[in-house]
Amino acid sequence: MSLLFEPLKINQTTINNRICLPSMVIGGYSDETGMVSEKNIEHYQSFAKGGTGLIIQEATCPSTYGKVAEDQLGVWSDDHIPGLKKIADAVHAEGATILVQLCHAGVTAIEEETFCPSEYSCTKNDRFRKGTALTLEHIKKIQDDFVNAAVRIWKAGYDGIELHGAHRYLICQFLNPRVNKRTDEYGKQPTLFVIEIINRIREIVPDTFIIGIRLGAFEPTLADGIANAKALEKNGIDFLNISYGCTGEFDSYVPEDYPFKDVIYAAAEIKKNVSVPVFAVNGIKTPEMAEDILQITGVDMVNIGRSMLVNPNWANDAKASQDTGKCLVCRQCMWHKTPPKCPGRKILNRKLVRANKTPILN
């Protein structure tokens, strides 16, 4: 594991290794107020204890609307700062770096009235959504919400933020011309909406504050994704966490003989065009696969998602050449219903018991 456990510098922060816990929304820990609970604190502290270098906290809403879930964590009020600080302090005490992912859902939000860069309809979670085109005044209001949220995150002691510009959420909707049909400056320059947010945040927070983005690789094509990545690097982005873009509105591509998924291929291609750190994600389960991706693709960091839910100690176990366990990709995720009943975790716990080691309890 010659690369997986090498440090990585992002902006002026040195990450202990190349292992990232990506943002994964965990339902039931908060409520409609968006306040942090003890479960949230324990959840993120467990990954820090487990040796994860970089933790990206689940999608957190900067506005009172635009939520992805009713019980989504929030940062639309100063009242959220004390609870968020408890997460940041708990993670830092274990030596890990932590960011908050800021996410406004746009047309895919749970509210009855939703918004999009231009009029657009889609279906999400079996519900039809019709988004109203944003006015210039509304665009500025949402940008204000992002900027104010980032300042609160800085005040709470986090190392930075990740803007959610993928998975058919609002920033992603601006970046994809199949969704963004505006004829003004925000349509002619799809990255302008997020670039203005980045520039305004930079004017307030210290230079050391990390600003990265979860970016759609195919928006709608890989050439568009590369162009977006280059524009964002030019305007001060600190890292690019490459994922899928607007669901149903992109054309993916991967060579037939490529050993990894299309989105990992895209991350490798984007890395060839930028100098900032690039992350790869999707189906990375084992330390061996993670190391191979770093070695073959040239990307800088790997996201270990569901397998980290199975085993929060994944990074430490990988470093010690122990069995890390892995997600079994169940049709319906048992971890989100009852973590101890997760099949991947049950298998790993049986192995731990046989080896006279402490099983994972929650």
Q: Annotated catalytic sites, by residue?
A: 169
- As a whole number of angstroms, the distance between CA 295 and CA 273 comes to 18
Closest by CA position to 90, among listed 149, 163, 156 = 156
Token pair 């065009």 in the structure block, residue: 273
Peptide bond into 206 cis (omega under 30): no
Rounded to whole angstroms, what are the CA distances from 59 to 36, 66, 73, 164?
13, 11, 7, 8
With contact defined as beta carbons under 8 Å apart, do 99 and 212 qualify? yes
Angle (CA) 42 244 229, round 5°: 100
Distance of CA 310 to the CA centre of its chain: 18
SS3 content of the chain, % helix, strand, coil (to 5): 35, 15, 45
